[in-house]
Amino acid sequence: MQLFLHDGSGSPQQPVTVQTGQIGAGGAGSVRRVVGDDRHVVKLYHKPNDEIAGKVAAMLDAAPKQAVVQHNGADVVELAWPNALVRDSAGRFVGYRMRRVDLASATTLEELLTRAARNQAGHRDDLGFRLFVARNLASVAAEIHAAGHAIIDLKPPNVLVYRDSGFIGLIDCDGFSIRSRTDTYPAEMFTIEYLAPEGHSSTPGRLGVEQDAFAFAVIAFQLLNEGIHPFQGRPGPAARESDPTDIAGAIVAGIYPYRNDHPETRKVPTVQSIHRGFPPALQAAFDRAFIKRSTDRPSMAEWSDLLDALTSQVKTCSVNPEHQYLGDNCAYCARERERTAEKSRQRAAPPPPVSKPSKPPRPQPAVQPASVFAAPTGGAARTRPGTNPRPFVVVSNQTPPATGSISALIVLGGAGMFVLFGLGFYYASTDRSSPSNDTHVPRSRQVMTAFGGATVHSPDSGEVLSTLSGGKLVPIADGRFCGLPADKPVGIRLPDGRVGVVSLDSLSTRDARRLTSYCLNSPTDARRSPKNMQSADMVENEAAPAKPAQERRRGMQVLVEAGVAPVFDANRQTVIARLPGNTLVDLADEKACGYRWSSSVSVAKVRLADGREGFLSYDSMSSRDRSRLSTCT
């Protein structure tokens, strides 16, 4: 394929031959090799237009200085930044040229976050290396900010790390927020778990360097604290039922459990955290990033200097050489001692008493001593119509038989007396109440444990909270009763109010099948569960009546993928709702199709439970729905 390069300087166009086969592709375009040039590749857009051409031209005019660095005499590409426009034979813009990133020698930063991930991927477990990676990421981001731009969708999967050197690489740079002399070309994507508090009520186009400062602090915290998100934790002593349980909700509410200035009582750190071993300067930087105003967050240059200084302060534990730490004492050893002490306290403490709600005594009829052949005075005797009241008397208890108990049926007749005994079927307890003692929880909002019982784990730390016997009914805690993925644990509520998770395998076959269905047979009393299905409008529409999903065909609905998906208004300026993962939402149009908002963003028009209409990004949908939705004409 014959194309032409134009560097924007007014020099003559340079012909270039691009291979037909692509080496990579995305929603916006494909990447092709350049014939006779192993140092460069070309990105060709699927649907190029003037807006994209203007953005790429602005990137050429204001390129960061640290796009390519030298290491051991070789070039290391840290930014796949455009260095020339690409036009066709008619002079039309079709894409740009950039330096080729050596993907074979790089990995994603996500594989460095936890020890398990590092071991599985074969990476070295070196704290100094992770500090160096974080320092390099801060340095590259600082250069991007100095050029007037911002990354916005900064997260571990989007960051490449060169295995041998620790340098980083950023690709898809045309998705950044780019500022020219006269215009700003906004970013179009963000990730909810790395989104600053002010961004949850905004759009990507309104975010800037403060968003990068927040997202980087989250990544640095995860790199240095075994992958733990800074807004992840366990319920604290002042936790309330209304407190958010998801990470995005904790970010908005400012519930940061690892703060150093004073304890956060609504949520406490996870037991795996080693944040107490952070040096004071590092703790102070995280506090500024997560609990101060957006303008008070450390800049990328500040982070680069701090992490550069900490790289030389890494120590090796004298007790366990596999432990590396910052500060005065080994944080890993301190964590193990703390966990051992906590387990000892739990074993020594008596189990909390399980009390059932007191019930008023049931009034009993006065029974006079009499022969068993006579009906009890005022008793619950039932007689066959049209016969003498005394023959064929059935004496029954007023309450249902207890589990495994024996009920008796006495049949009287002229020839004698027969007593029939039957065993009660082992199904649930006498009052059929859940372990939470809430007798008002409908069966559709409960699940039954399988015959072998179920182990309840903490949703944050994975600790065992309780063990339930088989055949127990427990209420669902997260408010979703269908459409869960098969590999996702189910949130339940224990009698003491704690929330835990159990696997689908530990539930009855009926409930497991019900929870993993596509909500086509979901409860119709959705008004009582505003978080079910479409009514999971978590911010603005908490009390909006839900529209049962079975009223529409699955083909006229889309499934929200894992995470929290924002729904925008028609102007793309306001988030009108946020839908949690595994939620089915109706398409607003009469046909299953979507719209293009820009060259790289496609959306579908959806209708919320309260009747409002908005737009949901294709990237927030399941892969099945993304592939089947065509563009509306």
The encoded tokens of residue 552 equal 């529409």
Given pLDDT bands bounded at 50, 70 and 90, which one contains residue 288? very high
Q: How many residues are listed for the chain in this entry?
A: 633
**CATH number for the domain that contains residue 54:** 3.30.200.20
Q: Indicate whether 174 pLDDT > 70.
A: yes
pTM for the full predicted model: 0.58
pLDDT in tens, 111-140: 999 888 888 888 888 999 999 999 999 999
Cα distance between residue 622 and residue 485, in whole Å: 11
> In terms of domains, do 562 and 594 share one?
yes
Strand partners, 392: none
Given pLDDT bands bounded at 50, 70 and 90, which one contains residue 485? low
Place of tokens 């398409």: 587
> In terms of domains, do 224 and 262 share one?
yes
- Report the number of distinct structural domains present in the chain: 4
Residue 384 lies in a domain: no
Residue 479 lies in a domain: yes
pLDDT at position 60, please? 93
Residue 312 lies in a domain: yes
Task: Give 36-66 as a DSSP string.
Answer: TEEEEEEEEESS--HHHHHHHHHHHHT--TT
Which residue in 243, 241, 242, 236 sits closest to 262, CA to CA? Answer: 236
Given 44, 79, 101, which residue is the final one in a domain? 101
Cα separation of the two ends of the chain: 31
pLDDT at position 352, please? 63
> In terms of domains, do 600 and 480 share one?
no
Which residue in 617, 614, 598, 480 sits closest to 549, CA to CA? Answer: 480
Residue 433 lies in a domain: no
> In terms of domains, do 41 and 178 share one?
no
Q: Indicate whether 211 pLDDT > 50.
A: yes
> In terms of domains, do 542 and 509 share one?
no
Cα distance between residue 187 and residue 460, in whole Å: 32
481 against 127, higher pLDDT: 127
Residue 351 lies in a domain: no
pLDDT in tens, 535-556: 223 333 333 333 344 445 666 8
pLDDT in tens, 403-417: 444 444 444 444 444
> In terms of domains, do 138 and 237 share one?
yes
Cα distance between residue 121 and residue 261, in whole Å: 37
Q: Which domain holds residue 152?
A: 105-332
> In terms of domains, do 199 and 307 share one?
yes
Given pLDDT bands bounded at 50, 70 and 90, which one contains residue 563? low
Average pLDDT over residues 305-311: 94
Given 278, 301, 332, which residue is the final one in a domain? 332
> In terms of domains, do 138 and 281 share one?
yes
Q: Indicate whether 59 pLDDT > 50.
A: yes
Given 469, 487, 515, which residue is the final one in a domain? 515
**CATH number for the domain that contains residue 579:** 2.30.30.40
Given pLDDT bands bounded at 50, 70 and 90, which one contains residue 477? confident
Q: Indicate whether 582 pLDDT > 80.
A: no
Residue 179 lies in a domain: yes
pLDDT in tens, 230-275: 999 988 888 888 888 888 889 999 999 999 888 898 999 988 899 9
C-alpha distances in angstroms, 317 versus 279, 314, 441?
Answer: 16, 10, 52
Strand partners, 99: 40
> In terms of domains, do 94 and 118 share one?
no
Task: Give 271-310 as a DSSP string.
Answer: TT--GGGS-HHHHHHHHHHHHS-GGGSPPHHHHHHHHHHH
Residue 185 lies in a domain: yes
pLDDT in tens, 365-386: 554 444 333 334 444 444 344 4
Cα distance between residue 321 and residue 192, in whole Å: 38
> In terms of domains, do 153 and 286 share one?
yes
Contact between 590 and 43 under an 8 Å Cβ cutoff? The reply is: no
pLDDT at position 598, please? 65
State the chain's mean pLDDT as an integer: 76
Residue 418 lies in a domain: no
> In terms of domains, do 243 and 128 share one?
yes
> In terms of domains, do 221 and 119 share one?
yes
